[in-house]
Amino acid sequence: MLFTSYGFIAFLIALFALYYIIPKRFQWLLLLAANILFYACAGWQGLCFMAATVIVSWAATNLMGASLKKQKAYLATPEAKALPREERKAYKKAREKDRKRIFVAALIADIGILAALKYTNFLINNVNSLFSAGIGNVDWVLPLGISFYTFQTVSYVIDVYWEKVEPEKNILRVALFTSFFPLLIQGPISRFGDLSETLFAEHKADFKQISFGIQRILWGYFKKLVIADRLLVAVTALCGDPAAYSGAYVFIGAVLYAAELYADFTGGIDITIGIAQVLGISVKENFLRPYFSRNIAEYWRRWHISMGTWFKDYIFYPLSVAPWLLRLSKSARQKISDGFGRKLSVYISTIVTWFLTGLWHGAAWNFVVWGLLNAFFILLAEEIKPLSQRFRARHEGLTAGFGYRVFETLRTFLLMCSLRILDCYRDVAVSFKAFWSVFTTNNWAEAFSGELLNLGLGVGDYIVAGLGVALMFTVSCVQEKCGSVRELAWKKPAVSYVLFGALAIVILVFGAYGVGYDSTQFIYNQF
């Protein structure tokens, strides 16, 4: 069920109405039923895999919780207190080992389902290429949103194991957390401790929150239908024929793709957060105006925040303090150099984290290379940081100015555009060849002599998309300086209604659907 389909709009209207009509104690059960219906529209087979993830996670967390509860109860008894200290430690260690076995088994099962469905054919294709084997691909259907709901549920299992959250005893609540339909398409990847506070609560109709939610949904549809789906036509044409469109066209395509991806992804997140807000459920922000970033590290603190924090909390930090890596770092300090040894654990953790981040985005080498290049530039920035700091200190008047900030922002934007060429062409060799052609092929005059009008978009389309991007940029500037636009508009309700009423009309009039267009699924749905 596409977020941009009429069926989904009807589904939402019915859900919103029923949600506030039925007794409040049944609201979370209605949401669970809505999740099942939504997911069933994408294929009943996917429900079986999701159900397996839910059952495994629920059983494992409750077994770990029961083990911990039993341990604490026993250690509180007079009999246990009378034991020698070493015996008490041995008992705790034995119980911890039991919980670790359960924990590892749950991770293998949950991640194993994702790995088998998403990466089996990738593995087979690489084996065939390396050994000239003739292994056939497996005809498996990838369930909707499996990367998102798997990571969300895995974080719950880890948090229970780390004793950050209590295990949920009701399996239907675990199922609701796993399957909450607005999050399935492209996140955010929410944590149980955050989402459960409002997901399972009873909600009264709050006119302001419902209005804000609907406004956020409209803003998301504006980004998706007016900007992203319109630019998609030109981006598809440019990237679909790299032999014909090289040089200037690669640069133009990368910039258009940056605008398309941002409008598509943030538009989907706006719809997700808006739906949740109408339902009274709090979902954390996933973007904080990333194109205003002055360096790549800041960019990744602002872009797809839930993914970045997931990999940081559950991969980078645990790996960086892993005993084997600390031993390796210590050995490097002794045998190579102190400075290198100190940095080694950070280097390895960063590279592994970004390798997995790339692989999470897709079972293809272009995503892996994309992830490793991000790691390279992040580490490079850290290495030249002392040099950068000395430059800033020596030229404080220059680096403190607005112009230098614009330079840093533009530099970061162009770097990210360059890396995304790997996403545009989906082939490592083709991507590098296309990137190099920007500097070796001089066809700028040709590109701007009317050739861009042969990509499926007319002058009017470029004007509409350009004005849409300008509006997005203006709103981002206001948010950066003054906070929420909805809060500012709400101070004068009449202005608020006029603004968002006009936005609805713009979507209806200028949305990229109908003859010549195909309303598509969100880009991040493929992940």
CA distance 83 to 73: 15
- Count the Cβ atoms, other than its own, within 10 Å of residue 332: 18
What is the rounded CA–CA span in Å between residue 514 and residue 229? 12
pTM value > 0.95 = no
pLDDT in tens, 314-353: 999 999 999 999 999 999 998 889 888 889 999 999 999 9
Averaged pLDDT for residues 139-155: 91
143 or 271, greater pLDDT = 271
SS3 readout for 407-452: HHHHHHHHHHHHHCHHHHHCCHHHHHHHHHHHHHCCCHHHHCCCHH
Q: How confident is the model at residue 515 (pLDDT cuts 50, 70, 90)?
A: very low
Task: Give the pLDDT of residue 194.
Answer: 93
Task: Provide the percentage of residues in the chain whose pLDDT is more than 70.
Answer: 97
Mean pLDDT for the chain? 91
Asked if 284 contacts 276 with a C-beta cutoff of 8 angstroms, the reply is no
Tell me what pLDDT residue 397 has.
Answer: 85
Average pLDDT over residues 122-141: 87
The answer to whether 62 touches 122, Cβ cutoff 8 Å, is no
pLDDT of 45 higher than 70: yes
Residue with tokens 């679909």: 240
Cβ proximity of 508 and 226 under 8 Å: no
Which of left, alpha, beta for 111 (phi over 0: left; psi -120 to 50: alpha)?
A: alpha
The mean per-residue pLDDT over the stretch 71-84 comes to 88
Higher pLDDT, 111 or 482: 111
Q: What is the pLDDT of residue 3?
A: 82
Which tens digit of pLDDT belongs to each residue from 148-180? Answer: 999 999 999 999 999 999 999 999 999 999 999
Q: How many residues does the chain have?
A: 527
* pLDDT at 516 exceeding the cut of 50: no
| pLDDT reading at 10 higher than 90 | yes
Q: What percent of the chain shows pLDDT beyond 90? A: 74
Using CA atoms, how far residue 482 sits from 288, 319, 476, 479, 486, in Å, is 13, 39, 10, 5, 11
Radius of gyration of the chain (CA): 26
Q: Using CA atoms, how far apart are residues 429 and 266, in angstroms rounded to an integer?
A: 30
Alpha carbon distance 225, 510 (integer Å): 8
The H or E element that residue 481 is part of is: helix 459-482
- Distances 477 to 256, 418, 482, 503, 506 between C-alpha atoms, Å: 20, 24, 8, 18, 21
Q: What is the mean pLDDT of residues 464-481?
A: 93
What pLDDT, on a 0 to 100 scale, did the predictor assign at position 520?
55
Q: For residue 314, what is the DSSP state?
A: I
Q: Which residues of 457-477 are buried (b: 16+ CB within 10 A; e: fewer)?
A: beeebbebbeebbebbeeebe
Count CB-CB contacts under 10 A for residue 330: 14
Sorted by sequence, the CB contacts under 8 Å of residue 488 that are 6+ apart come out as 478, 482
Q: Which residue has the higher pLDDT, 389 or 43?
A: 389
> Could you tell me the pLDDT band of residue 443, with boundaries at 50, 70 and 90?
very high
Q: At what angle do helices 171-179 and 44-75 cross, to 10 degrees?
A: 130
Q: What are phi and psi for residue 71, nearest 5 degrees?
A: -60, -50
pLDDT tens per residue across span 234-289: 999 999 999 999 999 999 999 999 999 999 999 999 999 999 999 999 999 999 99
User: Cα dist. 42→94, 143, 172, 242, 254 in Å?
Assistant: 44, 8, 21, 33, 31
Distance (Å, rounded) from C-alpha 305 to C-alpha 188? 8
Q: DSSP readout, 189-201?
A: ---HHHHHHHHSS
The DSSP code for 223 is: I
The answer to whether 248 touches 438, Cβ cutoff 8 Å, is: yes
- Tell me the mean pLDDT in the region 198-222: 94
Q: What three-state secondary structure class fits 377?
A: helix
Q: What is the pLDDT of residue 513?
A: 67
Residue 518 pLDDT greater than 80, yes or no: no
**Model confidence at 526, in pLDDT bands (50, 70, 90)?**
low
Helix or strand or coil: residue 524? helix
Q: Are 181 and 234 in contact (CB under 8 A)?
A: no
Residue 384 amino acid letter: I
**Distance separating alpha carbons of residues 210 and 195, to the nearest angstrom:** 18
**Within 132-170, where are the H helices?**
146-161
Residue 107 banded pLDDT, cuts 50, 70, 90: very high
Q: Which amino acid is at 265?
A: F
- The 10s digit of each residue's pLDDT in 380-434 is 999 999 999 899 888 888 888 899 999 999 999 999 999 999 999 999 999 999 9
